[in-house]
Amino acid sequence: MTALVSPAKIGFVGLGNMGRPMVARLAAAGYELHVADKDASLATDFAAVHGGRTAPSLAALAGAVEAVITMLPDGKVVREVLLGRNGLAEGLSPGSIVLDMSSSDPVGTRELGATLRAKNIDLVDAPVSGGVPRARDGSLSTMVGGDDAATARVRPILETMAKHVFLTGALGTGHAMKALNNLVSAGGLWIASEALLVGQRFGLAPERIVDILNASTGRNNSTENKFKQHILSRSFASGFSLGLMAKDLRVAADLAAVTGQPSPMTRLCAQLWSEAEGKLGGAQDHTAVIKVLEEDDGDGSAHRELVHKALGSEA
């Protein structure tokens, strides 16, 4: 089938922090959009500003389009939106394509792909990295899993939203890569937070610590793009929640278990972030995770307790 270039009819489900700027780029490129969200007012407001249509049900939306993009909290929600009552799969025509840009479980993605394939519907997984600012300017990176014909059909859509389009292989590999990317990102943020607070207690200025890290081998994405901007400023406004980060790390830990690869740091990182989610609440911005370390009582016991809980869960 031919590539889905503008003005192809595209559905977009999930108008959250990332979804809204992503679909706005599709609107600006001239795609005919049909939008939906659990909060119907988000879809109505988007259509009023950017154009596009809403529908009385997901099945009705799916019946009006050639492809549907999902940008949802996790794979369970994606599955429900597709296969639940009046879901997308009820309306999609044979030969349609689903592009899941959520951060979903890669094993579940392969299972969902098999279910949709039986209905002659293709599934491609294409999670993104870059956060809200890069969603706005179209400079996201996306990791794309699926068969060659399906990924070729959706590539023009992806290139409208992302500067870097990486083909990762078979279905599910995009979601696997996203989880592994966030594992490395979260590990870097956590250890940099520990280093900053240790240095601060010894008398180093936090801003100077960040400057030196960024000019040295300790530099990472968080030291460059999160510490001064969202942590030292106390804005905690990166646009990506603590709950979603903790979820992605659990996905990475599960992936390690499925593959049989010994990954003790992965398991520890996932557990530490899950414990932090329990303490702070998943709705907080993920950069607020440093509050867990700041709320220690001064002798490190609270942090040790957190680590012991994490390690204990692996016993």
The residues annotated as belonging to the active site are 178
The C-alpha atoms of residue 99 and residue 263 are separated, in whole angstroms, by: 30
Contact in structure between 202 and 208 (CB atoms under 8 Å):
no
Kindly provide the b/e burial profile for residues 229-251, where b requires at least 16 CB atoms within 10 angstroms of the residue's own CB: ebbeeeebebbbbbbbbbbbbbb
Provide the sign of the torsion angle of the four alpha carbons 62, 66, 71, 76, taken in this order: positive
Is residue 47 exposed (0-12), middle (13-18) or buried (19+ Cβ within 10 Å)?
middle
The owner of tokens 């510490």 is 227
Mark residue 14 as left, alpha or beta (left: phi above 0; alpha: psi -120 to 50; beta: remaining): left
Contact in structure between 171 and 124 (CB atoms under 8 Å):
yes
The C-alpha atoms of residue 28 and residue 229 are separated, in whole angstroms, by: 29
H-run or E-run covering 204: none
Tokens linked to 9: 């009819």
DSSP 12: E
